[in-house]
Amino acid sequence: MSGLACGIDVGGTKIAGGVVDTDGTILAQARVESPATDSDAIENAIEQVVRLLQLDHDITSVGIGAAGFVDKLRSTVMFAPNLAWRDEPMKADLERRLSLPVVVENDANVAAWGEFEFGAGKDVVDLLLVTVGTGVGGGIVLDGELYRGGFGVAAEIGHLRVERNGRACGCGNRGCWEQYASGSALVRGARKAAENGSLLAQGLLDRAGGVPKDITGPMISEAAAEGDRFAIEQIELLGQWLGEGIAQLAAVLDPAVAVIGGGVSEVGDLLLDPIRAAFRTNLTARGHRPELEIRKAELGNAAGMIGAADLARRG
């Protein structure tokens, strides 16, 4: 299918949409607040975004990036941890509302596809996307195809277990990767050090007005970029956890490229270099096999919209 497609990124706090052409260029955007606790209201909000964008553009299809488990047919959101979706027939509902073909896909999967087609992975045929945010998300492209697994819910890489009796995770297990390698883990460690009176954390604590719980991820990234040694060390620790996990995934998937996205990735090599070092240290048969390349994502927050629109265009 050719023409303009609309990509929608549905998050816990906002619903953002963009009109995307065949080159992956966003021509227009709109956003509304996300009524996360009401499934009908979420669909109303999605329809509102599409209608706004239709005022000036002839949209031929709609792709939805949903923060949840999407079935094999890309039609039903089976479960979403932060939104009011349980076995939600989103494709059918939205096609009835919009009179347009709709494709529903996991939010990290659409971001991976966006980076593969138009961003950091456009020169390879295999890609692993690791998004570092509140949790750790992921998407996998193998031999030029988005890998979704037998039931549509592959690439939930944040729940790879890295510590057998580790921290409790919202998924119900313990020791999940995202409990150590996410933006939330970064903030948790910095706040704990500040609460315990660490002199090394004093610079961050000053930035937070002397209140440990007011330390944020962007605050840590900003301090690290300005040379704060403690902040740099926290990001290095995060990078070590990420590198170890990527080495495990490489043993199974053997992708050509691992793309690091999410807010923390904006610090660039302050994060990527420790990821690369830990990856090399933990890679199976290191020194006797080609190594994947670890790259920073290129599309930023637009990856989901661009990827969802392209998948919708492809049907």
Same domain, 159 and 59: no
DSSP 67-88: SSEE-TTS--EEE-SSSS-EEE
Same domain, 155 and 287: yes
Residues, the chain: 315
Same domain, 222 and 143: yes
Residue 96: its pLDDT value, please?
Answer: 97
Tens digits of residue pLDDT in 72-87: 999 999 988 767 789 9
DSSP state of 182: S
Residue 1: its pLDDT value, please?
Answer: 58
User: How many domains does one find in the chain?
Assistant: 2
CATH of the domain at 38: 3.30.420.40
Same domain, 309 and 288: no
For residue 239, tell me if it sits in a domain. yes
Same domain, 83 and 184: no
Tens digits of residue pLDDT in 144-198: 999 999 999 999 999 999 999 999 998 889 999 999 999 999 999 999 999 999 9
The pTM for the full model equals 0.93
Q: Report percent pLDDT > 90 for the chain.
A: 88
Same domain, 183 and 263: yes
For residue 119, tell me if it sits in a domain. no
Q: Which residues of the chain have pLDDT under 70?
A: 1-2, 82
Structure token pair of residue 176:
């999940």
Same domain, 95 and 232: no
Same domain, 292 and 169: yes
Residue 14: its pLDDT value, please?
Answer: 85
Quote the domain boundaries for residue 53: 4-114+302-314
Instruction: Find out whether 69 and 105 touch, Cβ atoms under 8 Å.
Output: no
Same domain, 24 and 65: yes
